[in-house]
Amino acid sequence: MEVFSKSDIGLVRSQNQDDCRFGVISPSCAWAVVCDGMGGANGGNIASATAVEYISSKITDLYKDDMTKEQIGELIAEIVVNANMKIYELSLKDPELTGMGTTCEFVFVKDTTVHIVHVGDSRTYAIRGGKIKQLTEDHSVVQEMVRRGELTYEQAQNHPNKNFITRALGIKPSVRLDYIEANFIYGDVLLICTDGLSNCITTGDMVKICHENRGEDLINKLVDKAKEGGGTDNITATVIY
C-alpha cells in the first residue's frame, strides 16, 4: 500500500489554509487526513493544522494491530470528536480565532476495509476499473438542496452558495460526523481531496490521471489539472493504492 500527498496554495489565495498528513503502518495498512481550514486571517490555518497534528499524533499512539474493524471505526471517530473540542477550546482562548473551523477527511485503510470519518465538503473518492464513486456526501447548503430535490446535480456545480458548509470541526463543542465503511481491493485508488481540487477538475479527469500515473507524477498531475481549471482555492490531494 502506497500513499502520496500534495498541498498547493493555488493561483488566487494569499495563503494555504489546507493541511494534510499520512502514515503507512504496514504493506496492508495506511491512513491519511486532509483538512480545509476557514475563518479569519490566521484562524483557518490554525484550525486545519491543529486537526491534522492532533489526529496524526493520536492514531500513531492509539492504533494497535490486533484491533477489530469495529474498534478501528470507534477509535477514528473518537479521535475526530476530540480534535473538534481541541479546536473549539483554542478558539475560546483568542478572540481573533473565534469562529475558526476546518473540514476533515480521516481515512484509515486496513486489509480490505476503508474506514472514513467525514465532516464538511472535502471528499473521498474510490476509483476502480475505470469508474469513480464519491464515498462521502458534502455537508453543504447546496447538497441539502439537491437532496430535497430543489436543485439538480448539474445546477449545484455552479450555485453561488456552493461553498457554504453546514458542518465543520471547531465551530461548536460537539460535532456531527459521518462514518463510512467501504471495500478496498487490489488495484483500487482512493482519492482524498479538498474542494480546491474537486471544484476545478472533472471526475473523468480524476479517473484518467489516476489510471495513467503513479506516485509523485499522479499527485502532481491532479494538482496541475486543478490549476488549469482555475486554481481558485487551495488544492490538496492524497492518493492511497
Q: How far apart are the two ends of the chain, measured CA to CA in Å?
A: 6
Rg (CA), the chain: 17
Is the entire prediction scored with pTM above 0.75? yes
Cα→Cα distances 93→39, 51, 85, 99, Å: 15, 17, 13, 12
Q: Which domains does the chain have, with CATH numbers?
A: 3-240 (3.60.40.10)
183-239 tens-digit pLDDT: 999 999 999 999 999 999 999 999 999 999 999 999 999 999 999 999 999 999 999
**pLDDT of 179 over the 90 cut:** yes
Cell of 185: 481491493
CA distance 32 to 55: 10
Amino acid at 87: I
* Residue where the block lists cell 471547531: 170
**Burial category of 232 from C-beta neighbours within 10 Å (exposed 0-12, middle 13-18, buried 19 and up):** middle
Q: Could you tell me which residue, 142 or 51, shows the higher pLDDT?
A: 51
Count the neighbouring beta carbons within 10 Å of the beta carbon of residue 41.
Answer: 10
CA distance 212 to 141: 35
- Tell me which residue of 174, 126, 140 sits closest to 38, measured CA to CA: 140
Average confidence (pLDDT) over 104-131:
98
**pLDDT of 41 over the 80 cut:** no
Cell of 214: 503513479
How confident is the model at residue 42, as a pLDDT? 76
